Amino acid sequence: MSGPTRARRTRPRSPGRPGAGPDARGTEIEVEVGPVAHGGHCVARHEGRVVFVRHALPGERVVARITEGAAEAKFWRADAVRVLRADPARVEPACPVARPGMCGGCDFQHATGAKQRELKAQVVAEQLHRLAGLDLDVVVEEAPSAGPEGLRWRTRTQFAVDAEGRTGLRGHRSHDVVPLEDCPISTERVVGSGVLAQRFGNVETVEVAAGSDGAPPLVVVTPTPGRHAHLPRLPDASVAVRTADGLHRVSGRTWVEERVTVRGEDHAFRVGGAGFWQVHPAAPTLLGEAVLAALDPRPGESALDLYSGAGLFTALLADAVGAGGSVLAVEGEERAVRDARRSLHGREQVELWAGAVEEALVDEELTARRVDVVVLDPPRSGAGREAVAAVAALGARAVAYVACDPAALARDTASLAEHGYVLAGLRAFDLFPQTHHVECVARFVPRAQG
Q: How far apart are CA 377 and CA 392, in angstroms?
A: 15
Q: How far apart are CA 373 and CA 391, in angstroms?
A: 10
Q: How far apart are CA 27 and CA 9, in angstroms?
A: 10
Binding positions are: 278, 307, 331, 377
Q: How far apart are CA 448 and CA 308, in angstroms?
A: 28
Evaluated on CA atoms 414, 364, 449, 324, the torsion sign reads negative
User: Given 95, 103, 106, 404, which residue is catalytic?
Assistant: 404
Catalytic site residue 404? yes
Nearest to 189 by CA among 285, 246, 95, 256: 256
Give CA torsion, residues 426, 427, 432, 434, to 10 deg.
Answer: 90
For residue 225, give the 3-state DSSP assignment.
coil
Q: What are phi and psi of 376, to 5 degrees?
A: -120, 110
Instruction: Kindly calculate the radius of gyration of the chain based on its CA atoms and give it in whole angstroms.
Output: 23
| Exposed/middle/buried for residue 75 (C-beta within 10 Å: 0-12, 13-18, 19+) | middle
Binding positions for S-adenosyl-L-methionine are: 278, 307, 331, 377
What is the 8-class DSSP label of residue 8? P
Query: Which are the catalytic amino acids?
Result: 404
